[in-house]
């Protein structure tokens, strides 16, 4: 993986620091939840609400939350990282994507037909930064006919119509893309949009 502080919009950047900003709904994506790494939803909601965030919610036990706040993104992430490390021992990457950015992620999907017909086989991976073109070329070499990967801005879109769990492309993606990331299938992407819209 690349350096931990190289994030642009979804983690922290210079423009994210400072005083209170306009009220924003953020979708929080916690990397690597599942198996031995657990992040219980009810205690997580309580911990985030105790930090002063409004309209806090979670979606299934796989590392998804949303909230409304006037705090800058950098502060949201700092407080969330601290409370998750202290209360849950969770120290993996956390991404904060604004509702506006999430809408753009959906609108920019270069695989709309696949996302509509088989949403569980289309994944959107939020990236810390744009990957090198050579990494995409190397990943595409693992795709079988019918599979595909495209990157728009700092989001990678994967189509694995024969199953994500059995795909060589999906298996190689996390390390092969060369930048920190976390992925959600299209059903989760749309559900998180619905929940975040309701948190406005």
According to the model, what pLDDT value does residue 23 have?
Answer: 96
Query: Per-residue pLDDT tens for 150-192?
Result: 999 999 999 999 999 999 999 999 999 999 999 999 999 999 9
pLDDT in tens, 8-61: 346 544 345 444 469 999 999 999 998 889 999 999 999 999 999 999 999 999
Single pTM value for the model = 0.89
Helix (H) or strand (E) holding 49: helix 41-50
Distance CA 61, CA 73 (A): 23
Q: Domains in the chain and their CATH numbers?
A: 14-102 (3.30.70.1280), 110-185 (3.30.70)
Which residue is associated with the tokens 């990943």? Answer: 139
Per-residue pLDDT band for 111 (boundaries 50, 70, 90) equals very high
């Amino acid at each position: 993986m690349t350096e931990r502080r190289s994030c642009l919009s979804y983690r922290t950047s210079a423009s994210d620091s400072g005083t209170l900003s306009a009220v924003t709904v953020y979708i929080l994506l916690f990397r690597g939840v599942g198996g031995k790494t657990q992040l219980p939803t009810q205690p997580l909601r309580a911990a985030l609400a105790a930090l002063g965030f409004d309209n806090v919610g979670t979606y299934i036990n796989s590392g998804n939350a949303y909230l409304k706040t006037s705090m800058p993104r950098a502060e949201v992430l700092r407080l969330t990282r601290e409370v998750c490390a202290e209360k849950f021992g969770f120290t993996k990457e956390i991404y904060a994507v604004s509702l506006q950015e999430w809408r753009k992620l959906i609108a920019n999907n270069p695989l709309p037909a696949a996302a509509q017909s088989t949403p569980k086989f289309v994944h959107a991976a939020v990236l810390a930064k744009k990957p090198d073109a050579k990494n995409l070329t190397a990943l595409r070499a693992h795709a079988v006919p019918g599979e595909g990967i495209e990157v728009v801005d700092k989001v990678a879109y994967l189509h694995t119509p024969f199953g994500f769990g059995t795909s060589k492309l999906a298996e190689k993606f996390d390390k092969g893309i060369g930048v920190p990331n976390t992925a959600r299938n299209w059903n989760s992407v749309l559900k998180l949009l619905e929940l975040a819209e309701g948190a406005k």
